[in-house]
Amino acid sequence: MPDVRLVNVTKTYGKIVAVDNVSIHVHDKEYFALLGPSGCGKTTLLRLIAGLIKPDKGEIYIGNRLVNDVPPEDRDVGFVFQTFALFPHMDVWDNVIYGPRVKGFDMKKAKRIGHEVLEMVRLHERLDAFPNELSGGMMQRIAVARALAAGAKLLLLDEPLGQLDAKVRNELRYEIRKMTKDLGLTAIHVTHDQAEAMAISDRIAVMKKGKILQVGTPEELYMNPKSIFVAHFIGESNFLEGYVAEINDKTITVELRNGIKVETINKTTEELKKGERVVIALRPETLKVQREIRKGKNAVLGVIERMTFEGTNVRYEIRLENEDLVILTRPSLTGKWYKIGEKVTVSFPSEKAHIFTYPKVGLREELAVE
């Protein structure tokens, strides 16, 4: 039942436009991630949906009901705060059945729900502990349990794993997803960790400076980033700078520095012209590295500038002939390692390269996350 629709929603704080004309549609029972760098407006967007703040412009619908003027207690949303906000003066049990209690459920039903959700998060033995006696992971699970007990069909999670250590974080993220799926809930999960978003979401919206850049499944975003920022923020990318040398319906030829020419498939939606400054984005795994010096299509010479042993993989930084740096990893147990200073050829298939116009603010600026 609860799908969430935002139509042209804007929220400003003085001069800061925290959320800038955002429109998204989160489907019923979907696990949806809001992903973006710090300060891009994720929390603000979530608080707008919860009704903790009101939009300056635009409409917010939950399950087809316009909720702009509905107070938070009537929206049936569960909000899990980054700091959990467990009530310090109540024990675990009172925290958990707070929702049923304030909604006026009869005590029998409230107790049943309380036991159910505590069962679900496996914290039944700690009923009479106070929040300050719990570990971070436990607090997190209680916070989720408390939201679930209130009968929320829509779960809003603001960096719910941000305060936990890496191991616990990895376990809990699948647990939360499984729980929401089992209960048939809609979840909007805010994070700035792309790996976390990729691992658990049905779809992801990538945000930057208050705007939504792209919405899609993890695969779509990875395979077909619509902007250079998304290409950079989702997964990893290497960038080659150059100018459009030739363009036709099928292919675009780009001249890199030092006169090196490479070719990409013309599938861009941007209007590119000959002579225009562009950036080519390449996923590390699409790059092929060879020992011998080889001429050919999309083959660029380079020198291994640095190598790092990382366990499963070895990470190489290669300075190409056109002066750009590419970073890639290779499995450490198969194949022979390259040595620092070794000359190699790096090549890539034309269809795997993404081409974008060079950002007006400069590449470094465009990719900056602060």
Ligand X SMILES: Nc1ncnc2c1ncn2[C@@H]1O[C@H](COP(=O)(O)OP(=O)(O)OP(=O)(O)O)[C@@H](O)[C@H]1O
Residue with Cβ nearer other proteins (41 or 51): 51
Q: From the CB of 8, what's the least distance to ligand X, in Å? A: 18
The footprint of other proteins on residues 131-190 (CB under 8 A) is 132, 146-147, 150-152, 156
Q: From the CB of 96, what's the least distance to other proteins, in Å? A: 10
88 touches other proteins (CB under 8 A): yes
Tell me the three state secondary structure of residue 55: coil
Q: Pairing mode, if any, of strands 186-191 and 31-35?
A: parallel
Partner in contact with 18, chosen from other proteins, ligand X, Mg ion, none, beta carbon below 5 to 8 Å by kind: ligand X
Residue with Cβ nearer ligand X (22 or 326): 22
Tokens of residue 250, six digits: 């099928």
Q: How many CA atoms lie within 13 A of 263 on its CB side?
A: 12
In the sheet with 354-357, reading across from the earlier edge strand, the strands are 261-265, 251-256, 238-247, 277-282, 354-357
Residue with Cβ nearer ligand X (227 or 264): 227
Count of C-beta atoms within a 10 Å radius of residue 20: 18
The footprint of ligand X on residues 180-219 (CB under 6 A) is 192
Tokens of residue 274, six digits: 């000959």
Q: Pairing mode, if any, of strands 203-208 and 211-216?
A: antiparallel
Q: From the CB of 209, what's the least distance to ligand X, in Å? A: 9
Residue 9, φ and ψ in degrees, nearest 5? -85, 130
Tokens of residue 112, six digits: 């049943």
Burial class of residue 48, CB neighbours in 10 A (0-12, 13-18, 19+): buried
Residue with Cβ nearer Mg ion (86 or 190): 190
C-alpha of 256 from chain center = 31
Tell me the three state secondary structure of residue 256: strand
Q: From the CB of 171, what's the least distance to other proteins, in Å? A: 24
43 touches Mg ion (CB under 5 A): yes
Q: From the CB of 2, what's the least distance to ligand X, in Å? A: 22
From 94, 88, 90, select the one nearest 118 (Cα to Cα): 94
191 touches Mg ion (CB under 5 A): no
- In DSSP terms, 309 is beta-bridged to 314
Q: Which of 4, 6, 9, 18 binds ligand X (CB under 6 A)?
A: 18
Size of the site for ligand X (CB under 6 A): 12
Q: Which of 21, 29, 30, 39 binds ligand X (CB under 6 A)?
A: 39
Interface positions with Mg ion (CB under 5 A): 43
Interface positions with ligand X (CB under 6 A): 13, 16, 18, 36, 38-44, 192
Interface positions with other proteins (CB under 8 A): 50-52, 71-73, 75-79, 81, 83, 85, 87-90, 94, 98-99, 101-104, 132, 146-147, 150-152, 156
